[in-house]
Amino acid sequence: MKKRIISTILAVIAAAGCIAGCGSKTDIGSKATPAGSAQSAAEKTEDRIFNGELEKNVTIQVLENDTAISKGYFEELINAFNEKYKDYGIKAVDANMDQYLDLAKDGPDGYGPDVLYQANDVIMQYAEDKHTYPLPVSKLECYKEIPEEAWKAYEVEISGQKYTCGVPVNVQSARLFYRKDLLPKAWKKKWDKNGDDIPDMVESWNDMYRFSIERHNENSKQYGYMKSLNDMYFASGFLFSYGAYIFGNNNTDPSDIGFAAGDAVNGVRVLSGLASVMNEDCIDDTITTNAYSKLADGTYFATISTPDVYSTFYDELINAYESAGDSKEEAEKKAGENLVMTDLPKLPKSGDLTEENPELIDSKAMGGINGYAVSAYTKCPNACLAFVDFATSFEMVSKRSWMLGVAPAREDVAKTAGGTAEELFSSMKAGDVVLMPSIKEVGQIWTPGQTFLIDLAKDAFRDKKKYPDEAAIKSGLEKMCSQIHDAIFTLK
């Protein structure tokens, strides 16, 4: 593709004192709104770009999620869109680029997509540096069906004006995956204390801890709960549950790093306890990469991951059943019955997994909102907006949720889908899903976080513990926060 900045659009915007994309370096629309105007500066900026006149005979390069492509959803999406807009000569195609393409590098050189699907923290980093356009989201069909919590993940405020730079599609957060057919035969007698027909070990981390010990003792090749501890995205939820946070002032102040706040020490104690019932694979990425096959062959009973990989677990389990002699139809039926994706278990308020009859608290988890954005380098912004509007319609978000097992950001789709989709949507609205900050400084939390978590995982296998008590854990958390601060403010 040729370089995509449209000189005429930029000239109009520059003359009005605005910028093409969202950003903090320039006051967007600060000179664009006369006194008494009924239209906001933000709306005027967006209307200059998205004037409603569809560009004809254009091809839209769309960067989509790898899973959506591999499972066939993306092909259905673009085929349906292309059929609807064929009279305009508008065609959407797979950008055929790496899912994790860097728009900041490739966009200005003309190699980026026109529309991209990414997590909110990625899109908003692009938006901050003006690589994506502010969008007239109130004109989209999905607007009223997406809650404020999801829209906020794509908002930036400049000079008192709010700009929205992405359209939410689905909610991402941690979910527990487990095999119902790997439960003990008499589990209702021993593992259902409250008689609610839900196994205790998927309701309480204390019971998951006890069950993991028991399962491994009965067969040294089998484990209960297994998950790589070096993953800051999943592990941080254990800290949030006890009062920790990412950044201060609603995740807008990166000078205030809160991973050690509240009783975060208790979250670390839980992580350390869970590491003790795993093997040394929990130290690195091994469990993360082999979880699909190990859950399918029965080595692992449970793990945590995000809803968008449900279909991968499901397909792996079908293959395992077929390998054991089941027909395709039988394997699909059994996989649907036995693969369960559900809420995270509750946590002991004390942080002690060995405590009998603990007081329990709800688990929080880090999450994100995946959605669409429009590149500031596209030659066809109105056609791109038409694609985003189509892709976020009730029909297509419903199909995406059904085909990929993801939790939709649209409330009407979540309610229609029910089950896990509705549960995760409700968790987001209740604040139990802690959304990743939409500022670029969030990119500096991962490496220091991983360094601390790897060290913590190793501690479970050391003769002499590095984190034997609350003081040592607190010190480790504070050192991690200091390293994040340095990465943001000293090393940049």
- The CATH number of the domain where 124 resides is what? 3.40.190.10
Tell me the pLDDT of the chain averaged across its residues: 88
Residue 37 domain-assigned?
Answer: no
How many other CB atoms are there within 10 angstroms of residue 26's CB atom? 16
Residues 193, 102 share a domain: no
The verdict on 328 and 237 lying in the same domain is: yes
Q: Residues 153, 235: one domain?
A: no
The alpha carbon dihedral of 56, 58, 61, 64 has a sign of positive
Strands 223-225 and 175-179: unpaired
Q: What is the mean pLDDT of residues 453-458?
A: 97
- Note whether 130 and 191 are same-domain residues: no
Segment 154-172, tens digit of pLDDT: 998 777 788 899 999 999 8
156 within domain boundaries: yes
* 23 assigned to some structural domain: yes
Q: Is residue 414 included in any domain, yes or no?
A: yes
> Tokens at residue 378, please?
């596209």
Query: Residue 93 has what pLDDT?
Result: 97
Query: What tens digit of pLDDT does each residue of 109-157 get?
Result: 677 899 999 999 889 988 888 899 999 999 999 999 999 989 999 998 7
Residue 286 shares a structural domain with residue 140: no
pLDDT of amino acid 43: 60
Determine the longest span between alpha carbons in the chain, in angstroms: 76
Q: Are residues 303 and 351 in the same domain?
A: yes
pTM above 0.85, yes or no: no
Report pLDDT digits (tens) over 283-307.
Answer: 999 999 999 999 999 999 999 999 8
- Of 411, 431, 451, the residue at which a domain comes to its end is 431
* 167-178 as b/e: b if 16+ CB within 10 A: bbbbbbbbbbbb
pLDDT of residue 11: 35
**DSSP code at position 357:** S
Given a cut of 60, whether residue 15 has pLDDT beyond it is: no
Res 492: pLDDT: 54
The pLDDT assigned to 45 comes to: 62
Range of the domain at 207: 173-364+441-489
Number of Cβ within 10 Å of residue 298's Cβ equals 14
| Res. 31: pLDDT tops 50 | no
Quick one: 278 and 330 in the same domain?
A: yes
- Give the mean pLDDT of 12-37: 33
Boundary residue ending a domain (431, 455, 477): 431
If asked whether residues 402 and 328 sit together in one domain, one would say: no
> Is residue 116 in a domain?
yes
Task: Return the C-alpha torsion angle 69, 74, 78, 80, nearest 10.
Answer: 140
Answer yes or no: is 452 within a domain. Answer: yes
Assess whether 106 and 13 both reside in one domain: yes
pLDDT of amino acid 90:
98
- Lowest mean pLDDT segment, chosen from 6-15, 377-386, 411-420: 6-15
**Confidence class of residue 85 from pLDDT cuts 50, 70 and 90?**
very high
Q: Are residues 354 and 375 in the same domain?
A: no
Indicate whether 304 and 330 sit together in one domain. yes
Digit-coded pLDDT (tens) for 420-446 = 778 888 888 888 899 888 888 998 999
